[in-house]
Amino acid sequence: MLEDDTLSQPMTPSLTSPSSSRHGSSSSSSQSRGSPLSSRSNSSEWSDLSGLPLDEPEDLILSDFLQAISNQDMAGGPDFLRQQGDVYDRVLRTLFNHQCSCPSSDERAETENTHTLQQHTEYVSRSLPPLQTIFAERGNACDPRASFPQWHSFLSDKPPEPLSLSKTQASLPHDSVTVERQWDVDSIWLGAKSLSAIRAPGHFRLSFFPAYKSNISTAQVIQPHGLDLAHTRHTSIGTFITAGVRFSVLLFFPNGARSYTKASANSLSLTRFRDLYDEIILPAVFETVPDYVRQEIPSSYDLLYAKSRAYQEKPGAGRWSAEDESRAFRLSYSIPTSNLAEFWTSVVEKANMHRVQTRRGEAVPYFENPRLLFQAHDLKNTFASQTVEGRLALFRNIVLAGLNASQIDMHSCWLDVGMRDHVSQPSSPSSAHRDEPWTLLWKSACCDHLHDQLGGVVPETSLVADRYRSYLLRDAGTYYAKAKPSRASNPGHPEARSPGIIRAKAYNCSKDLFGVMFSDYQLFSSGLLPLLAFDEAMLKDLATTDQNQQRAFVSQLNRSHLVDAWEANKRHMRAVATLKRYPNFGIRKEVTFRLDVILAMWADGMLDPDQNPHTGPVCWNVPFTSAVSDQHCPFWVLPTETVVKFVSTQAARFLLPLDHIFLQASNKVAKPLSSSSSSSSSSSLDPVQQILGFYTAQLLCRLLIHSVDDEQEYGFDNWIWRPTWTVRTRGRGQRSLKQRRGLGLGDIIDTSGTLWIPNGHFNWQRGHIALEVLINLYISRNPLQAKLARQSNVQALTANQVTIELRFQQLASNARIEYDQGHREDAERLAGRAITLATQEIARAYHQHFLAKLHSYWDRTRGQVGRQKLPVLDLLKQAQEDSAAETSRIPTAQTIHGIYAEAWAKYCQVMTDDVDENDRSDFNMSPSSSLQSALPEELPCWMTTRRRLPPKNSWSDFLFQQIFCRAKPPTWNALFFLQLYRRFKEVWEKTCASLGPFDGCFSRQIGYYIQVAFNCDHSKEVGTSHGRTTWHHDKPPFFRIQYWAPYFSPPRAEENTPLSSVYRRREYPEGLSPCSTPCILTSREFGGIERAICPHWVEIMHGVDGLRSSDRKKIQRHCRRALLYASYIAGPIWGRDDDVNFIQPWSLNQPSRTGGGIDEHIFRVPVAETHISRQILEETMSQPTIILPTRDNIIGLLDTMETLPGHSSTFLARLRWTRRRLNNQGDHHY
């Protein structure tokens, strides 16, 4: 029942509509003034907005702002204000309606057998220790190991009846409660034209070097002055206070470089701060501010900077301490209000005149046309009132009275208008229910219906909704919606021409109990907490992995800090679970309105509670059962004590297993599985168990966060909530769909009312996610997690630990068993598989390290030249992705050559652009210049050997000696891939030493999987060229990196192969017979043809789009030569007179575990040209092979050529014949 008449009270003049004190009621005053929003139909009438009697000071304030609205041009004109006012009126009626008309008005169809929150809490508590002991501090807490047998009971053994909030509410001893409403304003955003918008006695304090957190880093729908706030460079320049409301003053620079990252990046660099302070703000201060004020303000950037870091002047001080609260610490200084106009004018003049020199030598007006924004937040209690008019009157008296309307951009101002509904308590202390605290929770179904209703108010505005589940409950949830800007509708822009809704939200006030809202803290939300499942050794391994395997690294993160954070979160939960006084928690809705529209509505009487009761006092009776009333309430009414106990018990369900997992890692030391149990006197937790514990902790931590808050189901949590989902693969061209698998816990919530973990999802005997379930999960990267705990790091650690401890050990152990039983052939086969597995994993680790290191060198170059000008390298990025893929691609000399071609072209373009136009004539752009965009022959810097002459120039042997088996351990010996190598070697020697040394097998195979490497020595893992006589001595280190890569030496094993063993024919071409042997190229012949095909291969593969539009002759020239050369290098050939009649791809047998075989040295180390004698000339090269005869290269080339137009029928027939001969059912040697 709405009780507007009985509960409305006469309001004081200061809290009424602008003229209620003069005319007795708002309705009469509205009639005397006219209705600008609803009845005025033309611009001439609208222009008289300020035509109000001026008897009262309050009327003068509002009249000034209405006059400012009228004076300032608007894109949509008066009609827009009228239309937007009508939309806001419908929003007020829809969003703030205390009843709901959603289809679920009859409540969710539930079975008769359901249980309440109290019953659920009691049911779960039977299997848990007392909550006080679970949340207790270290030393007093219960032993989580004692509760391990009960995991299944409180996590999975759900009761037969689902949880029902409807039954919970209906079972309460009371029939109903009375709910009342408070209106308020929460946030204020004011776009100002000048600092003179601050009126006396307003108090403005100019500040310097603000904290990054004061910047706006999240995307905002509102756009004061038309600016994208989160992506426009800005900084805070101070604060001011109007009658108790503190505003931050932000200064935006529309011409500054746009930022797409966090708040620390959309602020100013120290260089720009120097420009701002030394060239703009401080000169303006010294020109316009009196001496008695000026004397307190530092006069230069350097002095300001020194004062801001003054704590460093004390030995051992790393930050400001409590006793440092002083003017030097705050760097905040008062500016008299009377000087603000002149001061701002001077700031704008100097900002418009100042020019910033770019690296390209251009002078840009970085600070030109600066814009001001005043903002204040968390003002709900400041502006609380029973009516919308009442809180606007407070807003007028507290905020508008302290501002100069003519200096405010009235179309760039917004208010967050909201209300809070809460159960009212009887005023009499003797009331029987006085001490019964209540908590209101929004119904999730009603929030869904609310979104549909708001979408219907302005269908042209696209509202994007985020929904949040409350405390893992099916039927409780909150809602946040914001407009998605489009060409048709952009309601957050000051020049919007069509009405719309900016943003709206509904949330539970109880969230403040389980978090720290003003600091944006959330219980258990740190992404580092799951790392407590690892011991110190594993954390160190993970920290090393986090460095992209670039260098040996000692983590500053230690386990004790994580434990302290975990205990602090438990302390918060302990404080909640042991509450003795429970508050009333209400619910809140909030919507963002334009200030100019809402003031015009107020002046027009549209917010008068007498005419529009939905804006006035609201108080109604809420029955606990729907049978008593036809009303459908959009929220649940529950005892606060019941909610707190339920949430605390939910949290304990996940916290107790987490304590157990973390305790295991802290008490036990990880030990390899290869160590026999008999040799260990104490129980040990192996690395595999720790990794399984980590994934389990990752799940339980996410569930713990959801259990104590309103939390959104993010896409990266799909693996938790959905059983399956579909994604589209990345990449160019047609992208396929892939199905991902998850745990599907969201379906369990839908059927059970809250969360339970299915029995088959866990290994209850070992205490972790079942391995058969885990291996099928697709766990996405979680951006909320700490970098150290990201999935790529954990997967790399898993490869280091799980692969070694399980797969490799299994193969090696089986090989040892077969060997001991006399089955030598089977033993060698299994040992070979184990060695190949180890070699591939070590090579993959080296590839990722190698490419990450290359990326770091290029990133350093970008930092020197300018990140905005020098982009990332697409080919390098692609190589990193290919290397990290499940089926990875081996980087080769071809990869490096392509990366350098791209890098050199981009570098030359940037350096050429940086040359001043006036000096271009003097700049060396001759063909011999080192800034020609074509890749110089000296790049990349390929190394050659002088000591390893054939036949001792095996690439695999050289690589092994160069990287893995140096005479003396190098300074970079702790790199990840070397740790992995030693780990494999250790397991092999403990298991299979009788089958031969690990290095003997490994050294023969590693060259097949690592085909490009850095030049290194004892002290440097990445060698660079430093010769001053070289053309590149002054270039960035990226272009001076030295590389080793092999050249391809065609295997001679098939030189005696008769043609009949390959192609059985009745007749052979003239000159060929069944006994004919193939032509095998020498290394030098192969190298000559490979260099000949290279330009054609690049033109066809990299320039296919341009070639497709070229003339027919050019296409034929490239393709005919490419096809001929490809036929020669693809494998042994049979033919006569330079023709190719038969061909088969190279058949390469990798060296066996025991060695031997002439194919062992098909990859060789290039030899310096000066050391190649006539005797070894034909089999020795001084350059690596760029285009290896791999399947990807040869078949990819043939496929691409076939897509080009202009081929003759003869050429196409030859092309298809060659592809058939070389395709070999996919069994090509690579």
**Rounded CA gap, 652 and 649, in Å?**
5
Type of residue numbered 1121: R
Using the predicted structure, report yes or no on whether residue 301 has a pLDDT greater than 90. Answer: yes
Residue 83 has, within 13 A of its CA and on its CB side, a CA count of 15
DSSP string covering 951-999: TS-BHHHHHIIIII--SS--TTTT-HHHHHHHHHHHHHHHH-GGG--HH
- List the structure tokens of 1072: 């060929």
Q: How far is CA 1040 from the centre of its chain?
A: 34
Higher pLDDT, 512 or 541: 512
Sorting pLDDT into bands at 50, 70 and 90, what band is 718?
Answer: very high
The mean-pLDDT minimum among 292-296, 484-488, 966-970 falls in 484-488
> DSSP secondary-structure letter at 802?
I
Number of other residues whose CB lies within 10 A of the CB of residue 828: 18
Cα 665–chain centre separation: 29
Confidence (pLDDT) at 453: 92
Q: What is the pLDDT of residues 335-378, one digit of tens each?
A: 999 999 999 999 999 999 999 987 777 889 999 999 999 999 98
Q: How many CB atoms lie within 10 A of CB 1043?
A: 21
- How many angstroms from the chain centroid is the CA of residue 985? 38
CA angle at 218 for the pair 215 and 223, rounded to the nearest 5°: 85
Residues with Cβ within 8 Å of 1058's Cβ and at least 6 positions away in sequence, in order, are 1074, 1075, 1076, 1077
Residue 673 pLDDT > 60, yes or no? Answer: no
Residue 207 in this model has a pLDDT that exceeds 90: yes
Integer Cα distance of 984 and 990 in angstroms: 10
Rounded to an integer, what distance in angstroms lies between the CA atom of residue 703 and that of residue 698? 9
Closest CA to 1081 of 1040, 1129, 1138: 1129
- Give the Cα separation of 1166 and 1013 in Å (integer): 13
State the Cα–Cα distance between residues 550 and 553, nearest whole angstrom: 9
Backbone phi, then psi, for 722, in 5-degree steps?
-105, 145
User: Across-strand partners of 1024?
Assistant: 1041
Q: Tell the residue number behind the tokens 């014949």, with chain if given.
A: 1217
pLDDT at position 32 over 50: no
pLDDT of residue 659: 96
Q: CB–CB of 538/687 below 8 Å?
A: yes
Question: CA 1022, CA 1043: separation in Å to the nearest integer?
Answer: 9
Which two structure tokens, joined as six digits, stand for 1039?
């272009």
Q: How confident is the model at residue 995 (pLDDT cuts 50, 70, 90)?
A: confident
Give the DSSP letter of residue 232: S
Peptide bond into 672 cis (omega under 30): no
List all residues 6 or more positions away from 109 whose beta carbon is below 8 Å from its beta carbon. none
pLDDT-derived band at 6, boundaries 50, 70, 90: very low
Torsion sign (Cα): 291, 297, 298, 299: negative
Could you read off the pLDDT of 722-760 as tens digits, one per residue? 999 998 876 555 667 888 899 999 999 999 999 999 999
- Which position has the higher pLDDT, 903 or 36? 903
CA distance 572 to 576: 6
Instruction: Write down the pLDDT at residue 929.
Output: 43
What pLDDT shows up at residue 719? Answer: 93
> CB atoms < 10 A from the CB of 259, how many?
19
Q: What pLDDT shows up at residue 469?
A: 95
- Phi and psi, residue 1069, nearest 5°: -55, 155
CA distance 1022 to 977: 15
Cβ neighbours for 197, distance < 8 A, ≥ 6 positions apart: 190, 372, 374, 403, 404, 407, 408
Q: What is the per-residue pLDDT for 783?
A: 61
Q: Which of 1215, 1197, 1012 is nearest to 1090 (CA)?
A: 1197
**Distance (Å) of CA 1206 to CA 314, 590, 1102, 1203:** 78, 66, 19, 10
Q: Angle at Cα 536 formed by Cα 532 and Cα 538, nearest 5°?
A: 85
Task: Answer left, alpha or beta for residue 1013, where phi above 0 means left and psi between -120 and 50 means alpha.
Answer: beta
The rounded Cα 875 to chain-centroid distance in angstroms is 22
Q: Say if residue 158's pLDDT is above 90.
A: yes
pLDDT at 277: 95
- The residue type found at 471 is Y
Give percent of the chain above pLDDT 90.
Answer: 50
Tokens for 131, please give them.
């909550």
What gap in Å lies between CA 617 and CA 390, rounded to an integer?
Answer: 10
In the chain, the largest separation of any two C-alpha atoms, in whole Å, equals 119
d(CA 744, CA 761): 10
Question: With bands split at pLDDT 50, 70 and 90, how would you rate the model's confidence at 1030?
Answer: low
- The mean of the pLDDT values for the chain is 83
Give the pLDDT of residue 21. Answer: 36
State the average pLDDT over residues 170-186.
92
Per the model's pLDDT, the better-predicted residue between 1153 and 805 turns out to be 805
Q: Rounded to the nearest 10 degrees, how much is the dihedral formed by the CA atoms of 609, 611, 615, 618?
A: 70
Burial class of residue 567 in the structure, from the number of CB atoms within 10 Å of its CB (0-12 exposed, 13-18 middle, 19+ buried): middle
d(CA 462, CA 455): 7
**What amino acid occupies position 263?**
A
**How far is residue 757 from each of residues 594, 689, 692, 721, 742, measured CA to CA in Å?**
47, 20, 17, 11, 13
3-class DSSP assignment, residue 935: coil
The C-alpha atoms of residue 1175 and residue 770 are separated, in whole angstroms, by: 64
- What pLDDT is recorded for position 318? 55
User: Could you tell me if 880 and 1049 are in contact, meaning their C-beta atoms sit under 8 angstroms apart?
Assistant: no
Please report which confidence band the pLDDT of residue 1 belongs to, taking 50, 70 and 90 as the band edges.
Answer: very low
Q: Scanning the structure block, which residue is given the tokens 């006080």?
A: 132
pTM value is 0.69
Residue of 107, 101, 715, 713 whose CA lies nearest to 452: 101
Structure tokens at 669: 């030391």
